[in-house]
Amino acid sequence: MSGKLRYFWVAIVCMVGLFVGQVAFAAGVKYLFLFIGDGMGLASIHATELYLNDVNSEQVGKEHLSFTRFPVVGLMSTFDAGSYITDSASAITAMITGQKTRSGIINLDAERTRELTTLAEEAKSAGMKVGVVSTVSLDHATPAGMYAHTPSRNNYYEIALQLAESGFDYFAGGGFRYPTGKDKSQENIFDILTQNGYRVVQSRQEFETLTPPAEKLVVINPTLDTSSAMPYAIDRSADDFSLAELTRKGIELLDNPNGFFMMVEGGKIDWACHANDIRAAIGDILDFEQAVAEAIAFSKQHPEETLIIVTADHATGGLSLGYALTGSTLRLELLENQKVSHEVFAQTVKAYAHNTPPDKQSLQNFWPVIQENFGLLWLSDEEKAQLTEKAKAGDLQAAKTVAMAVSEYELARLEEAFAASMSGEIPQNEEAQLRYEGYDPLTVTLTHLMGEKAGISWTTYSHTGEPVPVFAMGAGAELFDGWYDNTDLYAKMKQALAITAQVK
Ligand SMILES: [Zn+2]
């Protein structure tokens, strides 16, 4: 073949390739799910798998979270325009607009001047329905990242107003941080939502009657914490929604001939990791996984048209599967002993401090409450020695019991933390910051001890800077393979949706 002729054939093949590519993309993904485990770094994902393994199975490595079995796994860097360690606001901006910005900013550029269009807005303009589901308040950084444009994530009321203006179809999860503004002088957001055609649903009974064709909806969990977020999964009652229920209802209500884009956030995975509470984090990761399972079930009916992405905006807490005093042993099953989250337990500590006369307050007096909620045991040296002997002889129950006994060193830390919790006087020094940050001293010491007994440890109360995994399944999943930046996630999702660029 002459050189010229070869070029001719190469050109023809390329043109056919381009054409086929265009046709494939023109079909586009009709149902896009973006699941964001806020703060859900790789170590927390795997800790959850190991916990399941320890609790359910004799066979090491048998238990997996559904999404860690997805056919495509990528890695995504998360640094933002101002720091190697991102916050949730700049992270969601990167993922949903493809642009880096600074921490605290939602969907504006780093200079806080130019508004950035979000993929959710583009999907809405293209005729798709849009759903936003989160366990935290609907005006919190990650859900706000779908519809809001603001120089500060703390502008909760302004963000809520933008939610009401978004025209998106389904909001579900927590409530609003300041429904009448921070100074309580503004028009009630619930009135504005009604004026804008939204129906607000706040009870299980009403929720269960919702069927398509739906009005525009805002579904709020019947109980909320002091930040207007849903309770942790570990603390929920039967009246509370699970993230899976909110996702399933969203699928049912959003399904339509033009398809939908739904973002589902496990928002308190991050909060549990900030508080260094591994048991609460695992509970919320399991709750999050059940929500992913709803999308997987739906995708089985629409395998050619559904794309499911599961990722995190950053990792939190510097979680390590290992601890200096436990060597190479992990015993995540010991976390089963913890019955409530740090959030609920801190309230119990506060109530005890408030209701018990100072001369009656003691760690020993409070111990039954600690034992009930964390399974920790205050044993004498003889008791420990006897149990250790039995454990050595193969008594599994004795081994489990002695594993929950507190050591002298642990007791000393608890005594100090107890005193700080009771007096409310926390020294303003580096040591106190390292031990407690702003958390209730006794509670955070207990969640640290639980982690240490299980063989895990934390290095910070903040976010960390390592890349996060991206799991993908369904149409276009192959786009998410490899190592890339969080801004690339936007371009990849957009390519999968085959939405053409909008003129801004
Ligand atoms: Zn985050």
Express each pLDDT in 44-95 by its tens digit: 999 999 999 999 977 777 889 999 999 999 999 999 999 999 999 999 999 9
Q: What's the rounded Cα separation, in Å, for the pair 487 and 470?
A: 13
In a domain, 7, yes or no: no
Q: Both 143 and 285 in a single domain?
A: yes
What is the structure's pLDDT at 27?
62
In a domain, 460, yes or no: no
Domain count, the chain: 2
Q: Both 369 and 280 in a single domain?
A: no
Can you tell me the mean pLDDT for 195-213? Answer: 96
Q: Both 275 and 128 in a single domain?
A: yes
Closest CA to 170 of 205, 209, 210, 126: 210
Q: How many CB atoms lie within 10 A of CB 246?
A: 24
Q: Both 212 and 249 in a single domain?
A: yes
Q: How many CB atoms lie within 10 A of CB 355?
A: 9
Q: Both 373 and 410 in a single domain?
A: yes
Q: Both 128 and 166 in a single domain?
A: yes
User: 57 C-alpha vs ligand 1 centroid, how far in Å?
Assistant: 32
In a domain, 398, yes or no: yes
Q: What's the rounded Cα separation, in Å, for the pair 159 and 165?
A: 10
In a domain, 374, yes or no: yes
In a domain, 23, yes or no: no
Residue 213's pLDDT band, with cuts at 50, 70 and 90, is: confident
- For 477, the domain range is 31-319+471-497
* β pairing state of 463-464 and 315-316: antiparallel
φ, ψ (nearest 5 deg) of residue 59: -95, 115
Q: Both 286 and 360 in a single domain?
A: no
In a domain, 324, yes or no: no
Express each pLDDT in 107-155 by its tens digit: 999 999 999 999 999 999 999 999 999 999 999 999 999 999 999 999 9
Q: Judge whether residue 20 has pLDDT over 50.
A: no
Q: How many CB atoms lie within 10 A of CB 460?
A: 16
In a domain, 11, yes or no: no
| Cα separations in angstroms, 141 against 46, 65, 101, 271, 339 | 25, 26, 13, 13, 29
In a domain, 14, yes or no: no
User: 281 C-alpha vs ligand 1 centroid, how far in Å?
Assistant: 13
User: 390 C-alpha vs ligand 1 centroid, how far in Å?
Assistant: 46
Asked if residue 487 lies in contact with residue 99, where contact means CB atoms within 8 angstroms, the answer is: yes
User: 214 C-alpha vs ligand 1 centroid, how far in Å?
Assistant: 30
User: 312 C-alpha vs ligand 1 centroid, how far in Å?
Assistant: 8
Asked if residue 467 lies in contact with residue 485, where contact means CB atoms within 8 angstroms, the answer is: no
Closest CA to 485 of 44, 81, 46: 81
Q: Who contacts 151 (Cβ-Cβ below 8 Å, separation ≥6)?
A: 104, 105, 108, 112
Asked if residue 257 lies in contact with residue 28, where contact means CB atoms within 8 angstroms, the answer is: no
User: 122 C-alpha vs ligand 1 centroid, how far in Å?
Assistant: 23
Q: Both 197 and 246 in a single domain?
A: yes
Asked if residue 88 lies in contact with residue 314, where contact means CB atoms within 8 angstroms, the answer is: yes
Q: Both 263 and 303 in a single domain?
A: yes
User: 182 C-alpha vs ligand 1 centroid, how far in Å?
Assistant: 23
C-alpha torsion angle, residues 417, 420, 422, 423 (rounded to 10): 170
Asked if residue 349 lies in contact with residue 443, where contact means CB atoms within 8 angstroms, the answer is: yes
Q: What's the rounded Cα separation, in Å, for the pair 64 and 61?
A: 8
Q: Both 159 and 257 in a single domain?
A: yes
Express each pLDDT in 336-388 by its tens digit: 999 999 999 999 999 999 999 999 999 999 999 999 999 999 999 999 999 99
User: 471 C-alpha vs ligand 1 centroid, how far in Å?
Assistant: 17
DSSP assignment of 293-320: HHHHHHHHHSTTTEEEEEEES-EETT-B
Q: Both 268 and 403 in a single domain?
A: no
CA angle 325, 285, 467 (to 5 degrees): 75
CATH, residue 309 = 3.40.720.10
* β pairing state of 72-77 and 468-474: antiparallel
Express each pLDDT in 421-446 by its tens digit: 999 999 899 999 999 999 999 999 99
Closest CA to 224 of 189, 253, 267, 263: 267
Q: Both 479 and 438 in a single domain?
A: no
Per-residue HEC secondary structure of 88-112 comes to HHHHHHHHHHCCCCCCCCECECCCC
Tokens standing for residue 154: 């703390």
